[in-house]
Amino acid sequence: MLPGIVLTVAAVILFYIGFVNFRGLEGAAFGIIDFILTIFSIISFSIGKKDTTNQQSGI
């Protein structure tokens, strides 16, 4: 779960930097990185959630 949390925080920070501080092409680059990190964080959350539910049900 920790990698998903870290990626989500990083994606939010990059989105804020790209949207507020940079305009145009540089802001779009931050938006693309933010979008990719958001996808990876969702995947990480789902993998982490699936692993914890499988471990708890096996006990």
Higher pLDDT pick, 58 / 6? 6
pLDDT for 55: 62
Whether the CB-CB separation of 18 and 26 falls below 8 Å is answered with yes
% of the chain beyond a pLDDT of 70: 83
pLDDT for 30: 78
Report how far residue 47's alpha carbon sits from residue 45's, in angstroms, rounded to the nearest whole number: 6
Average pLDDT, stretch 14-18?
A: 78
Average pLDDT, stretch 33-56?
A: 77
pLDDT for 51: 64
Model confidence band, residue 56 (pLDDT cutoffs 50, 70, 90): low
Does the CA dihedral 52-53-58-59 come out positive or negative?
positive
Report how far residue 50's alpha carbon sits from residue 10's, in angstroms, rounded to the nearest whole number: 23
